[in-house]
Structure 1
Amino acid sequence: MRFQDLDLNLLVALDAMLRERSISRAAEQLHLSQSAMSSSLARLRAYFDDDLLVPVGRKMELTQRAEALKESVRDILMRVDTALATPPAFDPSASDRQFKLIVSDYTAATLMPHLLALAEKQSRTVRFDLMPLLDRPHRALENGEADLMVVPRAYALSDHPTELLFQEEFCCAVWNRSCFALSGELTLEQYATAGHVAVKPPAMDKPTLESWFKQRYVQAQHIEVTTFSFANAPHLVVGTDRIATMHARLARIAQKLLPLTLLPMPAPMPHMAQLQQWHRQRTRDLGLIWLRELMHEAVLRMDAEADPGMQV
């Protein structure tokens, strides 16, 4: 199909090359030969009268025109995908759809078990793919490779819709035979001078990570152990006098499995607003609407289990 003398099939190739910044990786993604992808690039260069991708050292960089096209081309393809691939109705009991969710190990441990339990009551055929918060997770959402992303407010994309799921508090997890557990208190001075186990999430780029790290551990002067995993942090304080600053919900789960004492933060710490986010072109996707509503139900179930007196 052609539009204004452009073969619209070339937009798929263009989108892959602009995202990958590589002819070979784009060809691999679309299951084409490298020569076929090179031919597509040649035709695109002729149509736009622009090189689009240019070699800079060992890398390919986008021209100014390519940068301007990148978001528009992706948006067009997402619109087409949503219009053609999304069924007019969604019945979870009859659907075999696979939902792809980008979540941290914190979310996987705290919220996801409740989501899966609720989903199973409505469907034994709907499937879930929990994707890790690794390098550039936003890219998967923007590219349509993920349906939903669960992240703190500070790390959500500004140009895609969000919903607040819950607020999270923080606490200190210590080994139950540590000096802090035995004394039953943790002062700000003790917190500042103690050794700490800290988490450095792998999904953040360096400036964002450094900002997050300084905010989270502003009072801690001695970071003795770092880990990529929120769920792993409490294991690393056992047998030591170190402190792990943790999400309160995850800390309570860890306390059921490990010899831990949980102590309040010795100084106020801002709560974390946990959001769910989806691509703006998927707002009317009935399957995603079902999933988003189920996420809110899962939050109520999660907190009712932590507080048996809470009404769901």
Structure 2
Amino acid sequence: MRFNKLDLNLLVVLNALLTECNISRAAEKIYLSQSATSSALARLRDYFNDELLVSSGRQLVLTPRAKELVEPVREVLMRIDSTIATQPQFDPATETRTFTILVSDYTMAVLVPPLLEALYRQAPGVRVSLRHQYDRQPADVLEQGDADFLVIPSQYLAKEHPSAVLFEEDYLCVTWEGHSRIQDKLTFDDYLSCGHVIPTFASANPLPTLDGWFIESYDVKRRVEVTAPTMTGLPSLVVGTDRIATVHRRIALRAQEALPIRVWEPPPRIPRLVQSLQWHRHRNNDPAIRWLRDLFVDVARGV
């Protein structure tokens, strides 16, 4: 189909190229061969009378014209997907749609199991693709249409997209039960004197961490001795040491059932975590998105 002499199928290729800045990755994303994607790029260059992507060393970079096209092309495709391509009705009992959800390991441990159980009962044909949320900024994932839902703390929500509160969480400190110094009470001085085990997540644009908040609030820095790419695994990493970890309450209490650890109320006051669900504004009227949103909220009440 053509509109003003532009083959509209090329918009999908253009969006992939503008997002990936790499012909091979773009081809893989839209299930085309590399030669077909290169051919489509040539046609796009001819239509826009612009190179769109040019070599810079070993990389391809966007031309100024291509940068201007990023948001409009993405917006057009999202609107098509959320209006024309969306089914007007959703029957969970017969649906076979796949939902992509970005989650943390904390969400995987606390919320995902009861959600999958509810889905299995109510929508047995629905498939779920769970993806790690730390690879990119959450808002970018929504804007690029690479996920149906994000499950993230409320402070990281994108203002331009709708969201719903799921549940609240607070923190506990965890130490080995054989800790040589902390026996009856955890003081603020104890907290600072211990080596800390903290989560770190590889990302080109990492989200703020508890450490950043801690420094701003108390003008002190924790002595970090161990970093790990997980929150749920931190309690096991203090066992046999005089280190301490600060983790979500639900994670700490579950770990206490299986590990030789003790849990403590943190001596510094730490704001409660508000875990939220977010989806793209153009999918707000998608009946499938609305149904799964409501199921999320319902399941979260039990958490």
Residue 214 (1) aligns with residue 215 (2): no
Q: Secondary structure at the match of 2:271?
A: coil
> Displacement, 1:30?
2.7
Name 1:194's counterpart in structure 2: 194
CA displacement, residues 7-49 of structure 1 (integer Å, 9 cap, x when unaligned): 1111111111101101222223333333332232222222222
Q: Amino acid of the residue matched to residue 15 of structure 1?
A: N
> Displacement, 1:109?
0.2
Unaligned runs of 5+ in 1: 303-312
Q: Is the 8 A contact 1:200 1:213 kept in 2?
A: no
Q: Amino acid of the residue matched to residue 228 of structure 1?
A: P
> Displacement, 1:112?
1.2
CA distance in 2, matches of 1:152, 1:180: 34
> Displacement, 1:300?
1.2
> Displacement, 1:193?
1.0
Q: Amino acid of the residue matched to residue 237 of structure 1?
A: V
CA distance in 1, matches of 2:74, 2:6: 16
Q: Secondary structure at the match of 1:136?
A: coil
Q: Is the 8 A contact 1:191 1:220 kept in 2?
A: no
CA displacement, residues 96-151 of structure 1 (integer Å, 9 cap, x when unaligned): 22221110000010111221222233232222221112421534433323211111
Residue 113 (1) aligns with residue 113 (2): yes
CA distance in 1, matches of 2:197, 2:280: 35
CA distance in 2, matches of 1:200, 1:216: 15
Name 1:175's counterpart in structure 2: 176
Q: Amino acid of the residue matched to residue 285 of structure 1?
A: D
TM-score between the two structures when normalised by the length of structure 1: 0.88
Name 1:93's counterpart in structure 2: 93
Name 1:305's counterpart in structure 2: none
Q: Secondary structure at the match of 1:262?
A: strand
CA distance in 1, matches of 2:103, 2:16: 24
Name 2:249's counterpart in structure 1: 248
Residue 11 (1) aligns with residue 6 (2): no
Q: Is the 8 A contact 1:251 1:262 kept in 2?
A: yes
Distance 1:289 1:112, change over 3 A: same
Residue range with higher mean Cα deviation, 197-206 or 93-102:
197-206
Query: Which has the larger share of helix?
Result: 1
Name 1:237's counterpart in structure 2: 238
User: Structure 2 matches for 1:69-84, cutoff 5 A?
Assistant: 69-84=69-84
CA displacement, residues 214-255 of structure 1 (integer Å, 9 cap, x when unaligned): 225765532111001011111101111211101112212222
Name 2:46's counterpart in structure 1: 46
Residue range with higher mean Cα deviation, 77-86 or 244-253:
77-86
Distance 1:35 1:204, change over 3 A: closer
Q: Secondary structure at the match of 1:28?
A: helix
Name 2:55's counterpart in structure 1: 55
> Displacement, 1:281?
1.4
Name 1:288's counterpart in structure 2: 289
Q: Amino acid of the residue matched to residue 243 of structure 2?
A: R
Distance 1:37 1:94, change over 3 A: closer
Name 1:269's counterpart in structure 2: 270
CA distance in 1, matches of 2:19, 2:169: 34
Distance 1:101 1:31, change over 3 A: closer
Q: Is the 8 A contact 1:133 1:203 kept in 2?
A: no
Residue range with higher mean Cα deviation, 52-61 or 131-140:
131-140
Q: Amino acid of the residue matched to residue 275 of structure 1?
A: S
Of all paired residues, the percent bearing the same amino acid is 44
CA distance in 2, matches of 1:212, 1:66: 38
Residue range with higher mean Cα deviation, 4-13 or 155-164:
155-164
Distance 1:87 1:216, change over 3 A: farther
CA distance in 2, matches of 1:276, 1:180: 41
CA distance in 2, matches of 1:295, 1:4: 43
Unaligned runs of 5+ in 2: none
Q: Is the 8 A contact 2:27 2:37 kept in 1?
A: yes
Q: Amino acid of the residue matched to residue 165 of structure 1?
A: L
Q: Is the 8 A contact 2:196 2:243 kept in 1?
A: yes
Q: Secondary structure at the match of 2:90?
A: coil
TM-score between the two structures when normalised by the length of structure 2: 0.91
CA distance in 2, matches of 1:253, 1:99: 28
Name 2:155's counterpart in structure 1: 154
Name 1:36's counterpart in structure 2: 36
Q: Cα RMSD between the aligned structures? A: 2.1
Q: Amino acid of the residue matched to residue 236 of structure 1?
A: L
Distance 1:269 1:61, change over 3 A: same
Q: Is the 8 A contact 1:187 1:266 kept in 2?
A: yes
Residue range with higher mean Cα deviation, 26-35 or 262-271:
26-35
Q: Is the 8 A contact 2:182 2:190 kept in 1?
A: no
Q: Is the 8 A contact 1:54 1:60 kept in 2?
A: yes
